[in-house]
Amino acid sequence: MTQNLATPEAVEVDFDTFEKVLGKNACTEESEDFDQAVKIPPPAKRPKDDDGLLDLSDESTLDKLSSGGFLRIRPEGQNVVSVAFFKPAVQEKTHYSQERNKTIPCLQPKSDYCCKQLGEARDVIGVLAIQYAGASTKDGGLKKGNDPELRVGYVTLSRSALASIRKSLPEGASLYSTDWKIWKRSSGIGYEYAVQRVTPAYKTLNLEKQVEELIAPYKDGVKLRQRVAKPMSVTEVKLLLTGEPPELGERNPLEDMETL
């Protein structure tokens, strides 16, 4: 096959920076009427390949799409987040599919399909939280003289993480009477927790009213429970794990999909 040499080769675009691509014959030409050179501008920069595209296999992306402003609070990369906990807390049993990068609610006692496919369910505790969004991502500290940006959300804890947090409490303190900093373990699996401030910053800065307004819509625990373990039917779990819908029959009519 004869290669078309007049066609420029495709150029890969780096995620963070753009590579300038000049045409093969880009040069400086002299005008017949002027001594000044006329410069041919380079081709326009190509847009980022990922502009407007979403990775629906990423749990954090799905969180943002489905939860509005009520998001799970967790550190990304080497960052540290600073939070205060509030009542209520909920406990749910869930599974994690590493292949799908998705947390799945345990379907017991309705069905044991999830347990057969993903093993024993684990206890997950979800707790209402306020994040100091303006805190330092290095150590969770706050700048003096500036009111922190407050953001409502929730934090999920394993049983072992909750036990670790309780052990680190100062004498006489509670989970709700202190500020906490959270960062990802060096192994990349799980998180570390430590007391950030013995007295929450929102109290020191007299922001109790603002905090109360932020958490008020979520104090009934309904949204929190839905976010910690998003309700799914057996059909939805099977479809997620296998990529194929269950077989239908006389005992599984289409109008009764929720019972599959």
pLDDT tens, position by position, 39-83: 455 555 544 545 556 565 665 555 555 445 789 999 999 999 999
Helices (H), the chain: 59-67, 113-118, 159-167, 201-204, 208-215, 222-228, 234-242
pTM of this prediction?
0.67
pLDDT at 67: 45
pLDDT at 101: 84
pLDDT tens, position by position, 1-35: 444 444 444 444 343 443 333 344 433 333 333 34
Answer whether residue 179 shows pLDDT above 50: yes
Distance CA 130, CA 117 (A): 35
% of the chain beyond a pLDDT of 70:
68
Angle at 51 between CA 48 and CA 55, to 5 degrees: 120
Q: Which of 127-131, 184-188, 249-253 has the lowest mean pLDDT?
A: 249-253
Higher pLDDT, residue 188 or 152: 152
Mapped onto helix, strand or coil, the DSSP state of residue 209 is helix
Tell me if the domain spanning 59-242 has CATH number 3.90.198: yes
